[in-house]
Amino acid sequence: MSPARRAKTTPLELYFYGNRDRLIHKWLHYFDIYDRHFAPFRGKPVTVVEFGVSNGGSLQMWKKYFGRRARIIGVDINPACAAFTEPRIEIVIGDQEDRTFLRALRKRVGPIDVVIEDGGHTMAQQINTFEVLWPAVRDGGVFLLEDLHTSYWEHYGGGYKRPGTFIEYAKDLIDQINAWHSHGPEEFAVDKYTRSIKGMHVYDSIIAFDKGKVDRPKHKRRGTRTLPVNPT
């Protein structure tokens, strides 16, 4: 059954297909992923930051989805996007590749519950935004980056297994999540990401990171041994 004909199962899909307001442009398989990670924040006093305002339609979608207690902030390099300011939607103009701007944004906005990175899609934009904004995400928050297929597109600085793409960067973060099990700092050491990435969910074109305090893993045994210890 085609995506257009199958039942619309999430509030975001229902909003999208019924939208007659500002333009929204999304890959259709994103909606289930959004709802899976964002549903716990609905109806709560949350701060949501989306990079990439475009025509402002997705900001209106988030405003409806997260509810009346949500603060929605859109970030874009295009000054014309400032026109999309409305009650409970703020617009900040700046270059997400510029770490100085990102640090100022972090200070201005304060703690963030949800980051949706849908900006310019270049490797430097994605990596800089993640590295500068990750410390601002609250424990329990989510940092979702989308359109990561640009990691494979030369126009955006990508290429299959090309060093410096966000996909290759994310593969290194998998190592960091597991750094507790390194045999020594000469291999790879526990760092701030090891201690703060509680989960990393990889989908077609999307990676969602769960933020939270992570302690050194522990293991225990319970029960009675029935087999002899393996001599090897």
Q: How far apart, in whole angstroms, are the C-alpha atoms of residue 96 and residue 45?
A: 25
- Residue range 91-104: mean pLDDT, rounded: 98
Catalytic residue among 25, 121, 183, 219: 121
121 as an active site residue: the answer is yes
pLDDT for 47-80, tens place per residue?
A: 999 999 999 999 999 999 999 999 999 999 999 9
Q: What CA–CA distances, in Å, run from 84 to 65, 79, 127?
A: 18, 10, 26
pLDDT greater than 70 at residue 6: no
pLDDT greater than 80 at residue 2: no
What pTM did the predictor assign?
Answer: 0.92
- Residue range 22-30: mean pLDDT, rounded: 95
Closest CA to 206 of 136, 160, 143: 143
Joined together, the tokens standing for residue 231 give 């001599």
pLDDT at residue 163, rounded to an integer: 94
pLDDT at residue 8, rounded to an integer: 63
Q: Which of 12-16, 102-106, 182-186, 219-223 has the lowest mean pLDDT?
A: 182-186
Q: How far apart, in whole angstroms, are the C-alpha atoms of residue 154 and residue 206?
A: 18
Percentage above 70 pLDDT, the chain: 96
Q: What CA–CA distances, in Å, run from 213 to 36, 106, 188, 192?
A: 21, 20, 20, 10
Q: How far apart, in whole angstroms, are the C-alpha atoms of residue 27 and residue 50?
A: 16
Average pLDDT, the chain: 94
